[in-house]
Structure 1
Amino acid sequence: MDDRLKTRFNDLFLDAKLARQNMLNEGKAKVSIVEEEQSKTARQLLQVEKQAIREKDLNNKVELSYLHSIIEQLNDEVESRMIPVLEDVDNIFNKIVGIDEMMAELLDAVSVKAATISKIEPLATELPWFYTDLMKLINQPKYKRVDSKGRVVLVDSLRVGLSFFGLENLSVVITALAFKRWLPQITDPYPQIKLRIWEEALATANSCKQIASVSGVVPNHAFCLGMLQTTGKIVVTRMYFRLFEEVQREALIESENHRKHDEHKALLKTQPSGEFLISLIDKYAFKISAQLIEKMAMKRVFISNAMDEVHQDLPDADLSPMAKVLKQGNAYAKYRILKSQKLIELDQARDFVRSMKMPKGALELLKVTDVRSLNLSMDEE
């Protein structure tokens, strides 16, 4: 992505309205408070009024500068506390994200050609959340089935649930349900972040699956990789908001104890910085994703090496087919998301898609793919 598109995608991660407003303002000089105040009225301001506005502008700048310095100090402390935590992959795996080790076994079992429901069911019962989440998914109105009398048939058996979409769709269902459980819950003042992470993960997974079907790699493995490559973004996001609250609370107590009134007042106004969060994601998220996928140690879902290749930023010529699929799938997902939000112009879109170097037939498939849903079809047998 070029810098403008990357900035728009990052803005969208925080807030859709912000992204659209910033796109409209691209290349425009920022308006000062003086100019803004003066533009509100057509009458000629007296000199004394102009001076009052200038003083107000100066006071605001001083206050904002002080507030900005406080936020910078908080964010520096947040990152210093985050770094050692990120080095403990076991803690991230087990505590921060809460990945069930049985999930990897279940995905491996589903990927065996000779897989059967009777072999998979005992493993599925060992995932404590899986039955409940699977029943919620299956019993959604869009998947409803009716009996001969037109009554809706509710599924309440794990065995029936496992066969509901067919064995070929199980790895997609397992990965998607697990990923949804990991999403961050509280990200104020950016409530859309949870939606944006899910949107990117699902669009990337669906895009990878379609590209894989014409690239000689297993489509369901590509789906898993496309979704799990976003896990590091979840980790950094969850840790940032938790640590920011912790550091801010400690700073408030300290400033109150030492009677630092101006500092205390400024601290009460501080909020997590979306811009700083994005910088942390850029620094750490992809590496964390690679480490977590490696930690899952799947023996039949062959995605760990591909994730590592993309993390190392190897030249395209040195990438394995699965790694190429991941790069192309993630790029295409970002294009579709930007397009859906009207954040990419026609000429940019054309150049961006061309730069992906898609395999023959991939774009035709992707154009008719809904990247925003799981695209599951019920097994009618």
Structure 2
Amino acid sequence: MSLSSFSSLEQLFIDNLIGVDPNQKRLRYLKNQQSTNEQRPMLEVERKALEARQSGENAKKIFLDFTQAHLHDEVAQELMQRLSSIEVISSSLFDLGPNFPALIDALSAKAVTLNQLDPLISNVEWMKEDVLRLVNQPRYRNKTSSGNLVKDIKTALRFLGIEALQALVPVYAFRHCIPHSTDPFAQFKVKIWEYSLATAIAAREIANAQGLNGFVAFCAAMFQTMGHMVVIRNYLRSYAQVKRTELLRARDARDNELTDALEALDADAGFLSSSIEEFAAIISADLIARWQLKRMPLAAILDQIADDTPLSSCSDLTRVVKQANTYVQVKFLVNEQRLDVEEANKALNDAGVHNEMRKMLSQLDLKKLSFE
């Protein structure tokens, strides 16, 4: 499937992230959908019309497709209701705690010290536990004279240093927010992690090369996909709830054919992909805005990404994140043979990812952090 068949590189990449079959007819989230209560009786009418014209496996496939589309009319309503509530959105992710924003804000300051970070990390219990767990691994414990377990966060921070913490804090926060299960889209968890880490590393290097704040670029690139995780969790919950309700109705009505069709269906990759494209970016911006950061312009960067502000009009750091996004998306899609070289070069050129920048990025390991 080529880029010319899609409205954007972003949509093609999200399709790849979810695992959309390019040959399958897609269901999409449609704006301004009306309530479908009055449409429910049409299911029986439509089925009879189909049975009059078709027979065998083809008719069964058409009926399955229709049932899935009908189901998603109601899923769209439920999903929209969920995503309209900031409380539901916030509760869809791991609670980083009220003290996390102050920690991430402090890390962006040029003159921050380990003594300043000590109480801030201690106030974020899950982060304190993660840091202590890390420094008690053999490679760090060998640095102590006794080799005993490190129990004091101040000692742990001395082992790591500020540069390492600037990588670890946002990465640990993001990893806690990845859903435990995204079945039937099992690869989503792996791919969203790989993509987010790669874009964060790329954005940091582009920013540093231009004399910009690499830590801010790193965080903006990493946290921009928080909305993706909110959408997939709420879509899967909405789908399960609507399907369960429809199954109960079909069984109560002793409609065996509809019951069998509903039981054969699973969540739809195309609908999920379109929902992520529609909602994810603005949800990420809204979530980060609630942190009320004092030093870091993360909310402004993510707002410009959500608004799709042109490169010529956006801030320097937003441009950096957009360039990192394009580079990593193109790299992933080319590796999976979803994008040809000519289309890849055009996408990179349009984003201002020039040859010198490509050469620099090609020398990076985008799959793991390096801070030692």
Instruction: State the match for 2:197 in structure 1.
Output: 202
**CA contact under 8 A between 1:106 and 1:120: conserved in structure 2?**
yes
Instruction: State the match for 1:363 in structure 2.
Output: 358
1:312 deviates by 1.4
Deviations 1:162-219 (A, max 9, x none): 3333213323211111111111222222210111111111111111111111233200
CA distance in 2, matches of 1:268, 1:361: 54
Q: 1:224 to 1:147 in 2, by over 3 A?
A: closer
Q: 1:146 to 1:342 in 2, by over 3 A?
A: farther
CA distance in 1, matches of 2:156, 2:67: 53
Instruction: State the match for 1:263 in structure 2.
Output: 258
Question: Is 2:51 the partner of 1:82?
Answer: no
Question: Is 2:279 the partner of 1:284?
Answer: yes
1:108 deviates by 1.2
Instruction: State the match for 2:115 in structure 1.
Output: 118
Name the aligned partner's letter for residue 204 of structure 2: K
Deviations 1:330-362 (A, max 9, x none): 111112222443444333333332222136853
Question: Is 2:151 the partner of 1:146?
Answer: no
Name the aligned partner's letter for residue 281 of structure 1: I
TM-score (normalised: structure 1):
0.80
Q: Secondary structure at the match of 1:129?
A: helix
1:306 deviates by 1.8
Question: Is 2:258 the partner of 1:237?
Answer: no
TM-score (normalised: structure 2):
0.82
Instruction: State the match for 2:178 in structure 1.
Output: 183
Q: Identity across aligned pairs (percent)? A: 28
Q: 1:131 to 1:290 in 2, by over 3 A?
A: same
Q: 1:248 to 1:138 in 2, by over 3 A?
A: farther
Report the count of equivalent residues.
Answer: 339
1:276 deviates by 0.7
Q: 1:82 to 1:63 in 2, by over 3 A?
A: same
What does 1:1-381 correspond to in 2, within 5 Å? 2-3=4-5, 9-15=13-19, 58-94=55-91, 96-138=93-135, 144=140, 146-147=142-143, 155-358=150-353, 361-377=356-372
Please identify, of 226-235 and 176-185, the stretch whose mean Cα deviation from structure 2 is larger.
Answer: 176-185
Q: 1:140 to 1:147 in 2, by over 3 A?
A: closer
Structure 1: gaps of 5 or more residues: 27-56
CA distance in 2, matches of 1:58, 1:140: 64
Structure 2: gaps of 5 or more residues: 25-53
**CA contact under 8 A between 1:310 and 1:327: conserved in structure 2?**
yes
Structure 1 or 2, whichever has the larger Rg, is: 1
Root-mean-square deviation over aligned CA pairs: 2.7
Deviations 1:275-303 (A, max 9, x none): 11001001111110111111111111222
Q: Secondary structure at the match of 1:316?
A: coil
Q: Secondary structure at the match of 1:373?
A: coil
